[in-house]
Structure 1
């Protein structure tokens, strides 16, 4: 379900499962809280138009988890 939500590219919908004080990292960018997640996703999807996300849960312990993200070019997308 999380993968499907990401592929809607709707930041409002995608950020709802994140906690208000969530801590995330995307490469070298760090952000905290649902509103920062929403802002990040909005910026991201303004640039990345033709990709589909695949997510894989690698593991979790206590209140932390590791997730692997993989992007695939959508078939038929323009280069």
Structure 2
């Protein structure tokens, strides 16, 4: 089952790697980022890449959503 969303927020890999049970393959972050981008492009998804550290990352995400909402 496929669901389409109006906006996808793709988190950038600019944060330092932190090992935990949910994360794998730190040496392949760039590879998996390209896969995510490719998949989003394949479904013609409207997405924004969110980068930044700390509060700036949150602000960048909020800005992307606010920009999107002004378009609808």
Q: TM-score higher than 0.5 here?
A: no
With a CA cutoff of 8 Å and minimum separation of 6, indicate the structure with the bigger relative contact order: 2
Which structure is higher in strand share? 1
Q: Which entry has the higher C-alpha Rg, 1 or 2?
A: 2
Specify which structure has the higher proportion of helix.
2
